Amino acid sequence: MEERDNEDILLITRYFDLDLSEEEMIEFDKRMAQEPSFGHKVKKYYDSMNLINQAYKNQEQEQRANKWKHLISDKQASSGSYPTLKWIGGIAAILVVLISSWYYVNQSTNTNLDKLTDYAWNKKVGFDNYLVRNNNVEPSKKTILNAYKSFEKKEYDLAINTLQKYNPSQLYYEDALLIRALSIYKTGHTTIALQTLDSLVNLPSKRLSKEALWYKGLIYLDIKDLESAKKYLEIPNDTTSEIRLKEALN
């Protein structure tokens, strides 16, 4: 799908740059008439790019757009042929001039969200008390601390194995589930990790249920499922604010 989109953008770019042969121009016209999805794509880009055009105009873009307006005007005055192609040219003139800006804005948005997501992961929600070194803890807590140390060292399989036989009757079972879920996620098993976090949410104690929801949201952000992530997290539009757990879930 992405490859086809790139090909379409290249095609429209070539058309705008007057780089298409007469045969290619006719084929372009036919696609508009025969492929509703292509026509929808052009209209969708046109509608969105028209907004960006107001914010990212520069002299070169205006000159190229004026060139197209003049060219189309001349053709309309001299000939009545290819009416659909002229309409495409008008849309392409606005669309393709802005494609580079659109990619810049889209990439910038993704970069900002990635930075916010990285910062949210680095907050290590739910793990504050593990940072305190204490060699005189009882066995259950020591197991949790050892698993967390392995997790911090990115020894995720070792963390999972350390908690393999940890059962619900033991103290700090919630902590064991949280570390296990995140270690499983880091080894590439996203579905199992989310299911493990769900188990943590549904425990009667509810001690780490908010933390589990927080990490579910971050995992969805990692896999670019923004709609699912927004069920759990409040995501700002810029980097001046932080990602937060939704108020309704607090």
Percent of the chain with pLDDT over 70: 59
Local confidence band at 247 (pLDDT 50, 70, 90 cut-offs)? confident
Q: Is the pLDDT of residue 24 over 90?
A: no
Q: Is the pLDDT of residue 57 over 60?
A: no
Q: Is the pLDDT of residue 94 over 50?
A: yes
Q: For residue range 165-181, what is the model confidence (pLDDT) as tens digits?
A: 898 999 899 999 999 99
Q: Is the pLDDT of residue 141 over 60?
A: yes
What does the chain look like in DSSP terms, one character per residue?
-HHHHHHHHHHHHHHHTT---HHHHHHHHHHHHH-HHHHHHHHHHHHHHHHHHHHS--HHHHHHHHHHHHHHHHHHHH----HHHHHHHHHHHHHHHTHHHHHHHHHHHHHHHHHHHHHHHHT-TT-GGGGS--TT--HHHHHHHHHHHHHHTT-HHHHHHHTTT--TTSTTHHHHHHHHHHHHHHTT-HHHHHHHHHHHHTSTT-TTHHHHHHHHHHHHHHTT-HHHHTTTEE--SSTTS--EE-GGG-
Structure confidence at residue 67 (pLDDT): 60
Structure confidence at residue 133 (pLDDT): 47
Domains of the chain: 2-97 (no CATH), 114-249 (1.25.40.10)
Local confidence band at 129 (pLDDT 50, 70, 90 cut-offs)? low
Structure confidence at residue 65 (pLDDT): 59
Q: For residue range 182-233, what is the model confidence (pLDDT) as tens digits?
A: 999 999 999 999 999 999 999 999 999 999 999 999 999 999 898 999 999 9
